[in-house]
A and B are shown apart, each in its own frame.
Chain A
Amino acid sequence: MPEPVTVFTSRVVPLPAENVDTDQIIPARYLKTTEKSGLAEGLFHDWRFTATGDLREPPFVLDRPKMQGRRILLAGANFGPGSSREHAPWALLSWGIRAVISTGFADIFRANSLKNGLLPIVVSPERHAALFDLLAADPDVELTIDLEAQEVRVGRGPASAARAGGAGRAASVAVPGVGAATAPSAAGTAGTAAALAAVGRAFAFEIDPFARKMLLEGTDEIGYVLGRLPSIEAWEASHPARVNTLG
């Protein structure tokens, strides 16, 4: 069962590639495991290592010393297409990533991520571009991801009053100058200020309300369905089996 996620702050790993498929996230030869753990080594393996197993030169973004310990990945459009392998979120989580920000996610990857407490955060193309600009201007900028408030904030500040408590389907609007939000570390440069204005100090994100509830409560979805067995039995009683694989 995923550990409950509520709020965390981290610097960001930029990966400006579109359509990053699950074969890149974790190549098929790592799927021979029968465990969920230990997949960090395979994460983006062929982008990180040469055929002889050496780190690429220059190193892939994950292997730059400054990226160690970062928990947010800012990726290009349509992250995670391809195979259904849940090894993809397992590998990202094993490395330490807890949220991926993109303009969109492939359906199966998104579902698999939510089941493991990896947050797929969808932003508009404009804000997505602005986030990359912000990162270019201030590579060490911190973002706070607040699942309860359904909000991403620049810096470490508390939830904005507008949506503390998780107002749910709040529109994606910037809430300027909120609370005690710390300024980005290189604040003052014109580039940072402009990018920050385009990103907004805080913005809401959409997430399936059921998945959010399960994650916040640390509840297990299989337990939820097992709790509905009487209804399942009733349905089955009125819907004969379509096939008998043992027959």
Chain B
Amino acid sequence: MADTVRPRTLVEKIWDEHVVLQDEGAPAVLAIDLHLVHEVTSPQAFTGLRTRGVTVRHPERTVATEDHSIPTLRGTGRGLPVVDDQAAFQVAQLERNCREFGIPLHGVGSETQGIVHVIGPELGLSQPGMTIVCGDSHTATHGALGALAFGIGTSEVEMLLATQCLLQRRPKTYEVRVDGRLAPGVSAKDVILALIARIGVGGGTGHVFEYTGEAIRALGMEQRMTICNMSIEGGARAGLVAPDDTTFEYLHGRRHVPQGAAWDEAVARWRRLPSDDGATYDRSITLDASALEPMVTYGTNPGMGVAVTGRVPSPGDAPDEAGRRALDKALAYMDLRPGEPIAGRKVDVVFLGSCTNSRIGDLRQAAALLRGRRVAPGTRLLVVPGSQQVKAQAEREGLDEVFRAAGGEWRESGCSMCIAMNGDQLEPGQYAISTSNRNFEGRQGTGGRTFLASPLTAAASAIAGVVADPRPLVDRDPVTVEGR
């Protein structure tokens, strides 16, 4: 068990506390504090439980929402225009499973519904030091609060429902230190896209990222979530930021966090979580925040990114044959020419949403640029808040009016065009600039093409109708990127 003298990292501390047992040669049986469930990756797991004749061990440590395949347009009441019968059946299955096993469901129609990785932190369910999992690869988002949070497959969902534990090998640790300060117009999304462009989509495989350094400390919680969210795009199953005063201020008073004396106790416990002085990581990398520019992806994986002032690379410059082939294939799919500037490429759709960038701070940034301006003719702006609470807050601030006045569409909360399961999707051949996390072929609709970028870059591009650098607009009209 843990050697209490040896300096430990944040990840090791959380890991050690949650190991229930470990048989010789076997993975650890790891206790999980919070299990998040959505409609797409859970049905087969519930079927498995029924086949085994076992029940959900801890429904009160489990929480569900509907987000992936639900429509973002709806009338009143429950008559949902779900995209097809199969999706409707899947949503109905989740509702039945939650009822039968006593799992709380923040479903459509509830004022707490939203994308699973938006509502966890928002409701105060995700807390420092916890182990958090979901049948969803972007579960790392919750690592922003100082939790060990990672995605699992459906077989593991079933194991977790049955036992509240998982079989896991201890992950290796990877420190991602971001020194310096971000320039105006550059935000968390640019940090994570720059990291992945540097290490590649498999760079963090087998590891958990811990994001450290001055630039990370200076970020607010939502921006930290944006960074942790895309850890998986760098190959790491989890990514964390050590909890600090920013974390505690964010959590204080939220629905599921301890109150009164219990709050003080929790904060005291959380203050012991950060990595000890002298703790070592298996790997590390350092980025200089002040050198970063807004980033845009040009290819078909999130590692294919360049500064918005940059050019599409040439396959000839790839270091090896496989790299050349990959770039050739990506540029053919994207219909981009080697060496052309990425700025100025036409965009048909601007998608502002997803568990990466659909929180209130993201919407505020985009709205700050769009206020008093119009989306370019021929460009469609789709704004999909991450949760009903984000939506309500945005409406209190009049952001919905800003988006509508600019010519954008203001929708109900859900995953929407991030995964294009609900009918919100690109037409074949269309280009989107998207604040989501994946630019894989067909991700936003069969044949659709995706440029990943920050909310600021997406908003500037909506106004220009082409991929555009947000900094000239930001310089004219300083935008506060949500800080502490």
Binding site for B on A (CB under 8 A): 16-19, 21, 23-24, 27-29, 31-36, 46, 51, 76-78, 81-86, 104-108, 111-112, 115-116, 208-210, 213, 221-222, 224-226, 228-229, 231-232, 235-236, 239, 241-247
- The listed residue with most A CB atoms (<10 A of its CB), out of B58, B155, B156, B256, is B155
The closest CB in chain A to the CB of B97 belongs to A34
Q: For the A-B complex with A17-B329, A23-B440, A226-B54 known, give 16 more contacts whose Cβ atoms are closer than 8 Å.
A: A28-B419, A32-B69, A46-B447, A51-B447, A76-B326, A78-B200, A81-B202, A81-B235, A86-B153, A222-B162, A225-B167, A228-B21, A231-B29, A241-B58, A245-B63, A246-B59
Residues of B within 8 A of A36 (CB): 44, 154
- A226, chain B: closest CB distance, angstroms: 6
Tell yes or no: B117 within 8 A of A by CB.
Answer: no
State in angstroms the CA–CA spacing of A62 and B205 once bound together. Answer: 28
State in angstroms the CA–CA spacing of A53 and B127 once bound together. Answer: 47
- The listed residue with most A CB atoms (<10 A of its CB), out of B54, B202, B256, is B202
Tell yes or no: B159 within 8 A of A by CB.
Answer: yes
Tell yes or no: B438 within 8 A of A by CB.
Answer: yes
A-B contacts, 26 listed (Cβ < 8 Å)? A18-B325, A21-B438, A28-B419, A28-B420, A31-B41, A31-B68, A32-B69, A34-B43, A34-B44, A51-B447, A78-B202, A82-B137, A82-B440, A105-B205, A106-B205, A108-B151, A112-B154, A213-B25, A222-B162, A225-B163, A226-B163, A231-B21, A232-B165, A245-B60, A245-B61, A245-B103
Q: Tell me if A239 and B31 are in contact (CB < 8 A).
A: yes
State in angstroms the CA–CA spacing of A208 and B28 once bound together. Answer: 13
Residues of B within 8 A of A16 (CB): 322, 325
State in angstroms the CA–CA spacing of A34 and B46 once bound together. Answer: 10
Binding site for A on B (CB under 8 A): 17, 20-21, 25-27, 29, 31, 33-34, 40-41, 43-44, 47-48, 52, 54, 58-63, 68-69, 84, 86-87, 89-90, 93, 102-104, 125, 127, 129-130, 135-137, 151-156, 158-159, 162-165, 167, 169, 200-202, 205-206, 232-233, 235, 237, 256, 301, 303, 322-323, 325-326, 329, 419-421, 428, 438, 440-443, 446-447
State in angstroms the CA–CA spacing of A35 and B90 once bound together. Answer: 10
State in angstroms the CA–CA spacing of A231 and B22 once bound together. Answer: 11
Question: What are the 3 closest A-B residue pairs judged by CB atoms, nearest first?
Answer: A78-B202, A112-B153, A34-B43
Give the secondary structure class of A's interface: loop
**Which of B33, B52, B421 sits near A28, CB closer than 8 Å?**
B421
- The listed residue with most A CB atoms (<10 A of its CB), out of B156, B329, B420, is B156
Q: Tell me if B443 and A28 are in contact (CB < 8 A).
A: yes
The closest CB in chain B to the CB of A103 belongs to B202
The closest CB in chain B to the CB of A31 belongs to B40
State in angstroms the CA–CA spacing of A235 and B233 once bound together. Answer: 34
Residues of A within 8 A of B206 (CB): 107
In the complex with contacts A16-B325, A243-B34, A27-B60 CB distance below 8 A: no
Residues of B within 8 A of A51 (CB): 428, 446-447
- A119, chain B: closest CB distance, angstroms: 16
Residues of A within 8 A of B129 (CB): 242
- A50, chain B: closest CB distance, angstroms: 10
State in angstroms the CA–CA spacing of A28 and B445 once bound together. Answer: 9
Q: Tell me if A232 and B62 are in contact (CB < 8 A).
A: no
State in angstroms the CA–CA spacing of A112 and B159 once bound together. Answer: 13
Q: Tell me if A78 and B201 are in contact (CB < 8 A).
A: yes
Residues of B within 8 A of A84 (CB): 41, 135-137, 151-153
State in angstroms the CA–CA spacing of A106 and B137 once bound together. Answer: 11
Q: Tell me if A232 and B163 are in contact (CB < 8 A).
A: yes
Q: Tell me if B52 and A242 are in contact (CB < 8 A).
A: no
State in angstroms the CA–CA spacing of A244 and B34 once bound together. Answer: 9
